[in-house]
Amino acid sequence: MKISLLQYAPQLNNLQANLDAISALMAPSDSDLYVLPELSNSGYNFIDRQNAFDNSESIEDSIYIQRLMALAKNKNAHIVSGFCERDNDKLYNSSVLINSEGVAGLYRKLHLFLNEKDYFEPGNKGLPVFDTPIGKIGMLICFDWMFPEAWRTLALKGAQIIAHPSNLVLPYCQGVTPSYALVNRCYTATANRIGTEGDLTFTGQSVLSDINGKVVIKGSKDESQLLSAEIDISLADSKYVTARNHVFEDRRNDVYGDLNIGTND
């Protein structure tokens, strides 16, 4: 399959400009999966909760999602995008998995970063994995990267690729996610934004890593880019790092316990 990471600067308070930027970046490509940054519909650095609310949309009547559905249909593709989600009077920092028919998956960010705690509710959808025609896809968002349990949980649930929409400002994540890909023997796809909003400057360097922890593609620090690569997602089905070492079966749960892996509900 072919995967593309979109790296650009979503604009605060300007949904149309964000849709135009996404459409322009995707136009020359023919990927099976596109991964976009965190809060791609809204921008990130809100001045207050009302500002965040004004930039949010509900899943059911979202102009942004309708446009991404049209792009997915035109490209015969799946799209993972960060999304400022309104659910009645609550806001969530969410990620949506979109195909031509609508939203095929929804994840709400578990680990809120800095001022996000003033605007968003903590995620309440758990860590689902979505079985699609192109593979089994899990989703995390930005600061979720700090918690290895999240990556391992998705991998144990069968995720072949973990899409990771991000608005990173710290300099660490892009160096860490290849290690998560290696220890879980799955692909990791971090789509980070660029630019500056208020007092925040984002670090770009979107990165795709393979099951051996190799960086397949990596973006610049400050340029809008479409970053694409061909991957064999079926390689993530094998958890053997040697002929006699299986990264899940060799775990010593009798010593350090096990993660409580439930269903995707």
Q: How far apart are CA 164 and CA 139, in angstroms?
A: 6
Q: How far apart are CA 191 and CA 253, in angstroms?
A: 33
CA dihedral 14, 17, 23, 28 (to 10 degrees): -140
- Give residue 210's Cα distance to chain centre: 16
| 3-class SS of residue 50 | helix
> Which residues have a catalytic role annotated?
38, 109, 142
Q: Which residues contact 249 (CB under 8 A, 6 or more apart)?
A: 239
Contact 126, 262 (CB under 8 A): yes
- Give residue 18's Cα distance to chain centre: 17
Residue environment code for 31-51, b if the CB has 16+ CB neighbours within 10 A, otherwise e: bbbbbbbbbbbbbbbbeeeeb
